[in-house]
Each structure stands twice: as structure tokens, then as C-alpha cells.
Structure 1
Amino acid sequence: MRHDGERPRTNRFLTDGTIPGHWPQVLGSMRANPFTHLSPDEVRTEAAHLLIVAPSPEVARACFGELFAAVGPPSNAGGPAAPAGMAPGGPSPPHDSRITITTPDDLVAADVPAGTWVFLPHRQDGWTELEAASARVRADLVKENSTRETGSKLVLMEYGINLWMWAEPPTSGGDPVCHAGELISWESAWALGADAAADTSSASDSTSAAGHDAAGAFAYTAGSVPAASARPPIYFGLPPILRKRRWES
């Protein structure tokens, strides 16, 4: 287990460096296990809405490119009421109207639709500024959840932005982090999809840049989504469907 003081620190999105060799094996193992993987179709069926909190379009594409490739670029158009500051960006179809991306500063917890799966940057990922922003947003969302009825609660999860550069895999007995008396561990980790487990080395260089509108929502254009994520897409925090599978096993 790595404690806070052992984590590498940075103030940027790490785009250089080779993905450690153990990650494709970790990802492949998770995708082969029904208790640690979901398909894009299962995600769309189970989640009323997907809200991805990211500091930039580059980060969103790198960490969720596989999901976007499967369902189309995110957009609010035609979907449920969007949180404040997330006006539709007007991407060309096809797109998934239930996927929205916003920055931490633009998120208003009270306006997030019921049943939304909220993906936050990992609070001990190594990007120090983003860690602080994510912790603040998570605290707001936890407080908001405490006032909601059971059927209207939000599902909170975290995703690694730079985490794969240093986290110890479960095969070596590692847990990503231990902080503030809370363990973010492999017990709550899961991966998206069951195919192309090894194809996670880089995003397509041919993708076009995504815009950022005045309200803070990311506007994706057709062709802005890579065929696969630029880094191993592993998420932390079990969605209800995976928790239920484990209970029933």
C-alpha cells in the first residue's frame, strides 16, 4: 500500500512516459471477471445519466475515450435537465444525450439529475491542484446525497488520471492509496468493457480538438473521440449493479 507521502506529485496531466507493463494484465484480468467489469450497454442501462468531472477535454478523451467510442460524443441535447453551467455544445450525431462533461468549478451539486453516475478525478492521483478540487466537489456531492431520497441519490466514483503511472497492482498486494482514514482500494475497482484489453497504449492522433463553451460545458465535434482510451480505464467506487452481483454471489 502506498501512503500519501510516497505518491509522486505533479501539477499537470502526464501524457509522456510508458504505461507500466503490468497494467494490460491488470485490465485484462478485471475485464474477464463479471464482478469487476461492465459493458457500455450495461452502463447506459443502469445509469440515468453520466456526469464526468474533468479539468479539460484532453483529460476526458484520454480517460473515457473507450466509452465515447462505444456510445458517441457526450452531449446534453435531448437528455434530462442538465446541471447548471452545462449547456448543450451542439455536437454532430451520433451522440449520447445522457453523458455530460463539466469542470469542477462549474458543477452545482443540487442540480445534478437523480440517479446520475458521477465520475470524479481520483483524490490521491498525484495532480495536486486537481486533487484539491475533486475533494471539494466530492464533499459537496456527499452533502447533497445526504438530503436526497433513496431513489434520487447520486452514485459517486473516481477515475485515475495519472494514477496508472505509480499505483501498485493487486497482484503484488498493492492498493493505490490510503488517505484520511479512507482506503481507495482494488476492492472497489472496476473496468469498462470486455474486449481489446491490451489496446490501451495511446489515443488516436487523428482526433480533432474539442471546444469549450462560455458556460463551461465541453462541446465535442464528430471525430473528436479516439477509438480507445489513452490510459488503462480503471474506475474506483462500485456502481449498484456490481455491488448487487457481489452480494448475490
Structure 2
Amino acid sequence: MRHDEERPRTSGFLSDGTVPGHWTQVLGSMRANPFTHLSLDEVRAEAAHLLIVTPSPGVARACFGEMLDAFGDSVEIAVVDEVTPDHVPAGTWVFLPHRQDGWTELEDSSATLRAALVKENSSREASDKLVLMEYGINLWMWAEPPSSGGDPVCHAGELISWESAWALDTSEPPHHDFDSPVSASDPSAAILTAEPAASPRPPIYFGLPPILRQRRWES
């Protein structure tokens, strides 16, 4: 596990690297385990609304290509400063940038927004609550995978654990269209893999949605 002081620091989107090979095995293992993957149909059935909080459309495309292709306009994309807790609909699955991702400024703004959402969520009725999850924008560049005994980071005594991680099962063939939502001038739109893929970043999310938590309880 990496401690906070070992975490790489950056001021932006790391778009000039290739996906480390071990992430292929990490994703394959997660998608083979019923406790760590959801199908597109399960997301459709469980999430009343999908909100991706992102610093740019290019980052959203890089990290959520499969989801954007599958759900189209039903996925809302917003920058951190646009989101206010009282305007997030009941039952929304909110995807926030990881608070220990390595992108310094974004970590701070994401942590502030998450705190506000958690506070507002605590006053909601059970049926109206939000589901808060995080995704790594730069995290895959340095995080230690479970096969190495790693957690992404030990930050102020708080573990962001692989036990809460899950992946989208993309067995349903997605539609690949990299031109429409991303400007060619957006440097964060860089495609990092040689093979066609809906997301050039490994789509791993942290924070269990209720359906996966229930599945584990019942096992």
C-alpha cells in the first residue's frame, strides 16, 4: 500500500502514457467475479439517474466511454463547480473524481463536494438517497493492484480499499464514437490504447452501489 507522502502529484490529466499491462488482469478478474461487476442492464434497472462529475468532456470520455455509449443522453455530465447537492435528483448514482487520485487541485475540490453531498444525503429519506462512488482519472498510473497486495492509498488513516471496487461488465458490445462529445483540441481526449475501446482508461469505480452490497450480504 502506498502512503500519502508516496503518492505522485500532478496538476492535470496524465494523457501521455499507456495503460500498464497488469490492469488488463485486474479488470478481467473483477469482471469474472459476481461480487465485483455489474452489467449495463443492472445499472439501468438500479440507477434512477447517472451523474458524472468531471473536469472536462475529454476526461468523461476517457473514463466512462462504455457508459456514455450505452446510456447516451441519459447520463448527465457536470463540472465540480456546477454541482449543488440540493439539485441532485433522488436515487442518483454520482461518480466523483477520486479524492486520492494524484491530481492535486481536483482532489481538493472533489473532497469538498463529496462532504457536501454526504451531509445533504444524511437528511434524505431512505428512498431518496444518493449513491456516491469515485473513479480514478490518473490513479491507474501508480496504484498497486490487489494482486500486489495493494490499496490505492493510505490517506490520513483512511483506507480506500479494493474491497469496495467494482467494474462495469462490457460483454454487451458498445457503440464506439469518439468524435461527437469531445473536441479534437481537447488534450484530455487523447486515446491511450492501440486497440479500439470505448474507454482508454480502466473503468474501475470505488464505492459499492446497493445492488452489489446486497449481493455480498446474501452470499
Normalised TM-score (structure 1): 0.78
Aligned to 1:66: 66
Is contact 2:66–2:170 with CA below 8 Å preserved after alignment?
no
Is contact 1:69–1:227 with CA below 8 Å preserved after alignment?
no
Is contact 2:167–2:204 with CA below 8 Å preserved after alignment?
yes
What's the % identity of the aligned pairs? 76
Aligned-residue offset at 1:210: 3.8
Aligned with 1:52: secondary structure?
A: strand
Q: Which has the higher contact order (CA 8 A, sep 6+)?
A: 2
Find the aligned partners of 1:209 and 1:119 in 2 and give their Cα distance.
Answer: 18
Is contact 1:37–1:190 with CA below 8 Å preserved after alignment?
yes
Find the aligned partners of 2:171 and 2:41 in 1 and give their Cα distance.
Answer: 13
Find the aligned partners of 1:44 and 1:174 in 2 and give their Cα distance.
Answer: 31
Is contact 2:4–2:156 with CA below 8 Å preserved after alignment?
no
Aligned-residue offset at 1:244: 0.3
Aligned with 2:217: secondary structure?
A: helix
Aligned to 2:151: 175
Matches within 5 A, 1:39-78: 39-72=39-72, 74=73
Query: Are 1:7 and 2:7 an aligned pair?
Result: yes
- Taking only aligned residues, the RMSD between alpha carbons, in angstroms, comes to 1.7
Find the aligned partners of 1:32 and 1:49 in 2 and give their Cα distance.
Answer: 26
Find the aligned partners of 2:52 and 2:16 in 1 and give their Cα distance.
Answer: 23
Aligned with 1:176: secondary structure?
A: coil
Aligned with 1:8: secondary structure?
A: coil
Aligned to 1:235: 205
Amino acid at match of 1:207: D
Match of 1:164 among 100, 117, 140: 140
Is contact 1:31–1:195 with CA below 8 Å preserved after alignment?
no
Aligned to 1:129: 105
Regions of 4+ moved over 2 Å: 208-211
Amino acid at match of 2:215: R
Aligned-residue offset at 1:194: 4.5
Aligned to 2:179: 207
Query: Are 1:138 and 2:114 an aligned pair?
Result: yes
Aligned-residue offset at 1:111: 1.2
Normalised TM-score (structure 2): 0.89
Query: Are 1:27 and 2:27 an aligned pair?
Result: yes
Is contact 2:54–2:97 with CA below 8 Å preserved after alignment?
yes
Is contact 2:61–2:182 with CA below 8 Å preserved after alignment?
no
Amino acid at match of 1:12: G
Aligned-residue offset at 1:233: 0.3
Matches within 5 A, 1:79-94: none
Find the aligned partners of 2:66 and 2:178 in 1 and give their Cα distance.
Answer: 15
Q: Number of paired residues? A: 204
Greater per-residue helix proportion = 2
Match of 1:191 among 167, 187, 200: 167
Aligned-residue offset at 1:182: 1.8
Amino acid at match of 1:139: A
Gaps of 5+ in 2: 184-195
Is contact 2:69–2:198 with CA below 8 Å preserved after alignment?
yes
